Amino acid sequence: MKVIALIPARLAATRFPRKLLASLKGKTVIRRTYEAAINTRLFNEVIVVTDSEEILNEVINHGGKAIKSKGVYESGTDRIAEVAHGMDADVFVNIQGDEPFVQKEPLCQLLELFIGEEGSKVQVASLAQRLTDPALIKDPNSVKVALALNNDALFFSRSVVPYPRDLEMDIPYYEHIGVYAFRKQALVNFTNWPVTPLEAAEKIECLRFLEYGVLVKIAITRYMGVEIDTPEDIARAEELMAKNGWE
């Protein structure tokens, strides 16, 4: 397959303004995300798509590829769709700019969902990891996904899903990882649809697919990374790097 990775990178952020330019052990978050994607060697191209001249220069000045988006967008998926519209690939992968620990193995699992007879039917796929920390299960910054028995996504939420009414049950909780893969037509369709009620309420863009009846296939992985949503996540990320000896 020809696979292109697109990294949406918006400068403004409600919870952590300018987070993509925040320093993470000497490199900006966006630079670490870009380099991590390149280092997987899974993609024909890796391109940052941004609304910011500062982010554009940060990537290009360190040898990366970046494009300035023309429109004003509410979601990263809308932003990358602008660029994908003029490109040719079998699958486009959306790696959020605040995912500096994206790794090869989970991405391989994601791309495998598009292979073979069953894979030819998949339009949208994403990643999740088992969530066991009670604090993160309750944290609205941690997006949870409820899964069908075949690992299709049933719902994404910032709330605790499923709700633990039976406290004696060992309920599996899954955290959604902000990496998506799309067929081109799915991206085009997404941009042609207006924002949906559940998407607007939760501020989770992939709910738009579910509300329009598009299945989102999930690969369960042992990602164990840190998504940078708040200033506190920088400390968590640096702790993870120190623990694993990552530079």
Summarised one tens digit per residue, pLDDT across range 30-56 is: 999 999 999 999 999 999 999 999 999
Residue-wise pLDDT tens digits, 190-214:
999 999 999 999 999 999 999 999 9
| CA distances (Å), origin 158, targets 89, 116, 140, 149 | 32, 33, 4, 21
d(CA 56, CA 11): 10
Please check whether residue 74 is in contact with residue 157, taking contact to mean a CB–CB distance below 8 angstroms.
Answer: no
How many residues in total does the chain contain? 247
- Does the structure show a pLDDT above 90 at 149? yes
- Model pLDDT, residue 76: 87
Q: Look up the pTM and report it.
A: 0.90
d(CA 26, CA 222): 26
| 3-state SS, residue 84 | helix
Nearest to 8 by CA among 58, 46, 43, 41: 46
Nearest to 48 by CA among 85, 119, 96: 96
- Does the structure show a pLDDT above 70 at 224? no
Domains, the chain, in order of start with CATH, read 3-244 (3.90.550.10)
